[in-house]
């Protein structure tokens, strides 16, 4: 008899957003190993659709979110015509995010629970797996697990209660940590994407059944070598190469700052003549500010595009850019962008300390360069322009999503086998 998995995720393909990629890969991995996989997701309506993803083999049920939740999450960040109106928008949203405890996404829990009860009453399920953020996916999974007596795995793509990216009134974090631990302690396995996350669950919360499963790259996204060759001749300097450095995604209000890279380029004529940086879907205010601060740098900015459009952009890139903030917390962050870039086999410049988890991966596996030192960045770029550094590499298998999810699958199989032994 086939085993059945119920996977809970706020976003799920064809939603074109990075938060949908990991749950899709997990669902596919289990399906390819003979499981029947059902998905419980939300119909957010705020993101585009990506035709790359095929979900026809999966049973996907979606619940509508409330208009209030949609407004809180997707109200305009800026009103170009009226600055005070934009400030009021942001102030109201921050206020609502603080008073709606434990988080605004809890507004959808009741509907997810009702739909989950309906799905679980129709068939026997062997496992529930929830992937967060938002953390309310875990709250719903715990409810369904307790109500139906099904083991539950809590997969975490990011920290929740202790994340510095959440703007909260100070007392909130204390209560959020208590709540987070109370929910996660009922999971048979807690998953984090970095060693720092797992250390937090084990040491701060006492959740010994924790494991690191990195996001990993999707091998099916990669193209052959002829598509990876992206260098063109620089019109301003015949015979030299033009490097296009691509950054896709948000900058968290400038917390993720590429200043070391911009300093390296702006201080070297050979570099600022032959290197340009393209930002996609980043905050215009941040990019405009850096353009003013580093006028010799060639900086372009473009609006957010779909995953399919990004694939074409990534194919023409020379180098990818990943950035961490300056706080100590960031040293344990393994941004999903790293793994989104890896299938294309291009060098990665990571603005991060070499001792950070990101730095150890990039430098340790020879994926490019991780540093905050403009001099080292300048030397690295010069090496590429002069032909001393390779522009193509084959990303290591152990960083692929199949390998990483395989670690999760093995651990879950062991847990389920042990439970069967205990019941016999």
Q: What is the pLDDT of residues 322-333, one digit of tens each?
A: 999 998 889 999
Q: What is the pLDDT of residues 69-83, one digit of tens each?
A: 877 777 555 544 455
Mean of pLDDT over the chain: 87
Alpha-carbon span 176 to 162, nearest angstrom = 8
* Same domain assignment for residues 131 and 243: no
pLDDT of residue 149: 95
Alpha-carbon span 50 to 29, nearest angstrom = 20
Q: Is 169 helix (H, G, I), strand (E, B) or coil?
A: coil
Number of domains observed in the structure of the chain: 2
Of the two residues 288 and 224, the one the predictor is more confident about is 288
Q: What is the pTM of this model?
A: 0.85
The arithmetic mean of pLDDT across residues 242-263, rounded, is: 93
Burial (CB < 10 A; 0-12, 13-18, 19+), residue 329, is middle
* Same domain assignment for residues 209 and 268: no
Q: What is the pLDDT of residues 210-221, one digit of tens each?
A: 999 999 998 765
pLDDT of residue 227: 40
Across 27-41, 46-60, 290-304, 328-342, least confident range: 46-60
pLDDT of residue 283: 92
How far out from the chain centre does Cα 232 lie? 31
Angle at 381 between CA 377 and CA 387, to 5 degrees: 145
Alpha-carbon span 228 to 239, nearest angstrom = 20
Q: Is 89 helix (H, G, I), strand (E, B) or coil?
A: helix
Q: Of all residues in the chain, what percent are helix, strand and coil, respectively (each to 5)?
A: 45, 20, 35
Alpha-carbon span 141 to 58, nearest angstrom = 19
* Same domain assignment for residues 107 and 255: no
How far out from the chain centre does Cα 264 lie? 28
CATH code for position 201: 3.40.50.2000
* Same domain assignment for residues 136 and 283: no
Across 64-73, 171-180, 306-315, least confident range: 64-73
The arithmetic mean of pLDDT across residues 309-336, rounded, is: 91
* Same domain assignment for residues 242 and 357: yes
Alpha-carbon span 322 to 18, nearest angstrom = 15
Query: By residue range, what is the domain housing residue 56?
Result: 4-216+401-423
* Same domain assignment for residues 65 and 170: yes
- Strands 127-132, 241-248: pairing is unpaired
* Same domain assignment for residues 122 and 26: yes
pLDDT of residue 93: 77
* Same domain assignment for residues 273 and 301: yes
* Same domain assignment for residues 312 and 199: no
* Same domain assignment for residues 363 and 225: yes
Across 94-103, 161-170, 190-199, 228-237, least confident range: 228-237
* Same domain assignment for residues 99 and 208: yes
Q: In 207-331, at which residue ranges do the beta strands (DSSP E only) sit?
A: 210-212, 232-233, 241-248, 275-280, 298-302, 319-323
* Same domain assignment for residues 155 and 234: no
> Which residue, 372, 334, 337, is CA-closest to 353?
372
């Amino acid at each position: 008899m086939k085993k059945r998995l119920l996977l809970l995720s706020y976003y799920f393909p064809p939603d074109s957003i990075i938060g949908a990629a990991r749950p899709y890969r997990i669902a596919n991995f289990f399906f390819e190993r003979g499981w029947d996989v059902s998905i419980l997701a939300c119909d957010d309506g705020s993101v585009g659709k990506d035709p790359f993803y095929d979900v026809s083999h999966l049973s996907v049920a979606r619940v509508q979110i409330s208009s209030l939740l949609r407004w809180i999450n997707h109200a305009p960040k800026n009103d170009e015509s009226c600055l005070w109106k934009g400030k009021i928008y942001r102030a109201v949203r921050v206020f609502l995010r603080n008073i709606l405890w434990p988080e605004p996404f809890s507004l959808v829990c009741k509907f997810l629970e009702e739909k989950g009860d309906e799905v679980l009453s129709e068939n026997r399920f062997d496992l529930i797996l929830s992937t967060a953020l938002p953390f309310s996916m875990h709250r719903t999974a715990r409810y369904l697990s307790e109500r139906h007596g099904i083991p539950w795995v809590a997969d975490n793509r990011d920290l929740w209660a202790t994340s510095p990216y959440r703007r909260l009134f100070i007392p909130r974090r204390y209560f959020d940590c208590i709540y987070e631990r109370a929910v996660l302690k009922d999971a048979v396995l807690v998953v984090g994407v970095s060693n720092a996350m797992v250390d937090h669950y084990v040491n701060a919360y006492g959740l010994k059944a924790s494991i690191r499963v990195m996001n990993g790259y999707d091998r099916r996204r990669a193209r052959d070598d002829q598509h990876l060759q992206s260098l063109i001749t620089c019109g301003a300097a015949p015979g030299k190469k033009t490097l296009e450095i691509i950054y896709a995604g948000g900058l968290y209000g400038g917390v993720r700052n590429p200043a070391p890279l911009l300093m390296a380029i702006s201080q070297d004529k050979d570099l600022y003549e032959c290197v340009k940086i393209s930002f996609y879907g980043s905050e215009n205010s941040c990019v405009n500010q850096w353009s003013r601060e580093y006028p010799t740098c060639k900086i372009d900015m473009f609006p957010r595009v779909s995953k399919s459009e990004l694939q074409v952009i990534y194919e023409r890139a020379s180098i990818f850019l990943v950035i961490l903030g300056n706080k100590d917390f960031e040293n344990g962050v393994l941004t999903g962008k790293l793994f989104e870039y890896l299938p294309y086999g291009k060098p990665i410049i990571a603005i991060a300390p070499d001792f950070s988890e990101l730095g150890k991966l990039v430098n340790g596996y020879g994926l490019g360069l991780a540093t905050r030192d403009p001099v080292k960045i300048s030397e690295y770029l010069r090496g590429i322009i002069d032909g001393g550094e390779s522009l193509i590499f084959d990303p290591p298998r152990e960083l692929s999503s199949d390998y990483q999810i395989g670690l999760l699958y093995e651990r879950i199989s062991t847990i389920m086998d042990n439970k069967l032994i205990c019941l016999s």
